[in-house]
Amino acid sequence: MTERANLVYLDYAASTPVDPWVAEAMAALMTADGNYANPSSTHIAGRRSVEHIEHATGQLAGLLNTAPECLIWTSGATESDNLAILGAAHYRQDRGRHLVTMRTEHKAVTDPFKALQKQSFDVTWLDPEADGLLDLAKLKAALRSDTQLVSIMHVNNETGIIQDIRRIGELCREHGCLLHVDAAQSVGKLPIDLATLPLDLMSMTAHKVYGPKGIGALYIAPRPGVHVEPLLFGGGQQRKLRPGTLPAQQIVGFGAAAAIAQSRMSDDFRHLSAMRERLWSGIRDIPGISTNGAIESAFPGILNVSIEDIEGESLLLALEPLCVATGSACNSKTQEPSYVLRALGRSDELAQSAIRFSFGRPTRPQDIDLAIDLYRNAVARLRGMSPERAA
């Protein structure tokens, strides 16, 4: 208990705590006195589980302003990305085998594209500008007559940079290709109106928005030519696109989290903006510090900074009990510098010194103040130990 109380958690881009109301809604479908039946069953208990799933699907659809039947439940954004990219590429391969994405995408996107390259698909990898944004002229120049799929992340998980998915979608529509968007970091945090956005496929997950781990969804636009081939087989659930017993309690959790997010999105945005500004104001005067990605183009829940003459892993350890990240949580075990920051043109040294701070609903001003003190003290201590600086 004491150890947990001493932690300062600023890694909400990696995962968020489950909202108490979400946990309560989920618990009602997990125990013997609740609605725990298999939703594939046709008896009354199974039908009750289906009702809960349909209600939750409506909640997520309401957040996104789309029809419930456009959503496919998955195990998370990684599966949704794979189903969208691999499924759409294979479904449309007779029309063309050219695909486009960015080097700054999450591994759940870049790895499926690399797998498709081994299957003789032609992939164009676009670099961002130094501020993290995609130059739309470069995207337009990359599109060809045989381009069938473009995949661009909405909010980057390391830098928070927000891409103009509306304009990107318009370019894709003009060229007759599909647009997939990884929205794991933006669903429930930024307004997304799928009734008006020209998107074809969109991946999302619950655990970035105060829902449970292990549940995600894929949006499939209801228009001709938008379809995916399944990755899994073994049942008729979800139009056979993603078979398997639906985890009713997880789905209900995502639905509840979506409903909460819809009601407090504006308040959350203002809170996150205040926390980021407080932190950046407290450390921006440190010599050699710089942001990774333009703050004015980034989601306020993320602040990624690099600093000269400091090694990232040493800095991360020196910051304890502050819980932050050196890059993507899914890529944190490697000692390699962030490929996202390298794509932005950062040197290996600056990329390795990067720390990603990310904020959430529970973040308090006193948490930010402690983070400022810990960061400033850690930098001063590590620089004081540097032989080069001592010389």
- Residue 5 has a pLDDT of 61
Distance CA 31, CA 292 (A): 46
Query: What are the backbone angles phi and psi of residue 305, rounded to the nearest 5°?
Result: -130, 145
> Nearest to residue 220, comparing CAs of 232, 236, 202?
202
Q: Where are the domains of the chain?
A: 2-16+266-385, 20-260
For the domain made up of 2-16+266-385, the CATH class stated in words is: alpha beta
Instruction: Indicate which residue of 70, 172, 323, 330 is catalytic.
Output: 330
Residue 51 in tokens: 């009702």
Q: How crowded is residue 116: how many other Cβ atoms within 10 Å of its Cβ? A: 20
Task: Report pLDDT for 323.
Answer: 96
The two three-digit tokens of residue 251, written as one number: 């789905």
The verdict on whether 330 is a catalytic residue reads: yes
Topology of domain 20-260, CATH: Aspartate Aminotransferase; domain 2 (3.40.640)
What amino acid occupies position 323? C
Q: What is the identity of the amino acid at 211?
A: G
From residue 218, give the alpha-carbon distance in Å to each of 17, 87, 173, 257: 22, 12, 20, 16
Q: Give the C-alpha separation, 384 to 36, whole Å.
A: 59
For 35, 109, 307, 310, 357, the CA distances from 378, given in Å and listed in that order, are 51, 35, 12, 10, 15
Q: For residues 353 and 311, is the Cβ–Cβ distance under 8 A?
A: yes
The pLDDT value given to residue 390: 46
Local confidence pLDDT in tens for the 391 residues of the chain: 345 567 999 999 999 999 999 999 999 999 999 899 999 999 999 999 999 999 999 999 999 999 999 999 999 999 999 999 999 999 999 999 999 999 999 999 999 999 999 999 999 999 999 999 999 999 999 999 999 999 999 999 999 999 999 999 999 999 999 999 999 999 999 999 999 999 999 999 999 999 999 999 999 999 999 999 999 999 889 999 999 999 999 999 999 999 999 999 999 999 999 999 999 999 999 999 999 999 999 999 999 999 999 988 889 999 999 999 986 444 455 567 899 999 999 999 999 999 999 999 999 999 999 999 999 999 999 999 865 554 4
Residue 188 has which token pair? 């429930």
